[in-house]
Amino acid sequence: MALLEVKNLISGYGKLKVLYNVSLEVREKGITVVVGPNGAGKTTLLNSIMGIATIYDGSITYDGVDITRLPTHKISKMGIAYLPQMGNVFTELTVGENLRLASYLLDKSEVKDRMDEVLSLFPILEKFINRKAGTLSGGERRMLAIAMALMRKPKLILLDEITTDLAPIIAKKVLKQVVDLRDKLGLTILIVEQMAKLALELGDYAYLLVSGTIRYSGKASELLNHPDFTELYLGIKKT
């Protein structure tokens, strides 16, 4: 069953159209991966879902409710957490302060228990609870960003290029943590990634986005092993 459904989406920013007739489904408790080269429109897709981009046509449905053009704060309150590619932690605040700040949607009486639950999933962050986020390694900061998203008790998490600037071995560790969280918490996850191979190895279902259009949809394993994957990814037509 699809928790999120995007149909014939045309979106962009102001007068600039970036996505053209994009349709996809994000299945409940699954990991859906959107891969594609730089400039393909991957971030615009997430921004459209979150009410940040301009939507010209099409629809976005979440948990049976039409959220097309809803303001971002209303979408967040419905149980969708978004981790942007950059600026997803407050470097001058401690780990604990970041987590408390991320709990703004919770009742104050829930915050401590929720923080304890989230920290149990990220033991390394508990060790660094009083350290400023800016002193953490790149991988630790990504884990903090994911932990901040979990503070809001989301049903769906949108992850934008969480492996950016990470060494391959650290990127693999962070992505494995994503799979573990899905398995432990029953989360639904939508990841957009440029590191296609790593993302497709962990995903259940995949979409390939090139130049604002969907070029492939199907099982992640099938796209990973597609004989024409390089040509598809780069948008090259065979002659």
Q: What is the pLDDT along the chain (239 residues), one digit of tens a residue?
A: 899 999 999 999 999 999 999 999 999 999 999 999 889 999 999 999 999 999 999 999 999 999 999 999 999 999 999 998 877 899 999 999 999 999 887 888 889 999 999 999 988 899 999 999 999 999 999 999 999 999 988 999 999 998 888 888 888 888 888 899 899 999 999 999 888 888 899 999 999 999 999 999 999 999 988 887 777 776 665 54
- Residue 106 is predicted with a pLDDT of 83
- Residue 237 is predicted with a pLDDT of 56
Angle between helices 111-121 and 138-150 (to 10 degrees): 140
The CATH code for residues 1-79+157-239 is 3.40.50.300
Distance, in Å, from the CA atom of 88 to the CA atom of 84, rounded to the nearest integer, reads 6
- Residue 236 is predicted with a pLDDT of 61
Tokens of 148: 């901040």
Distance, in Å, from the CA atom of 23 to the CA atom of 2, rounded to the nearest integer, reads 12
106 sits in the region (left: phi over 0; alpha: psi -120 to 50; else beta) called beta
3-state class of 19 per DSSP?
strand
- Residue 198 is predicted with a pLDDT of 87
- Residue 234 is predicted with a pLDDT of 66
Domain span(s) for CATH 3.40.50.300 in the chain: 1-79+157-239
Distance, in Å, from the CA atom of 162 to the CA atom of 233, rounded to the nearest integer, reads 20
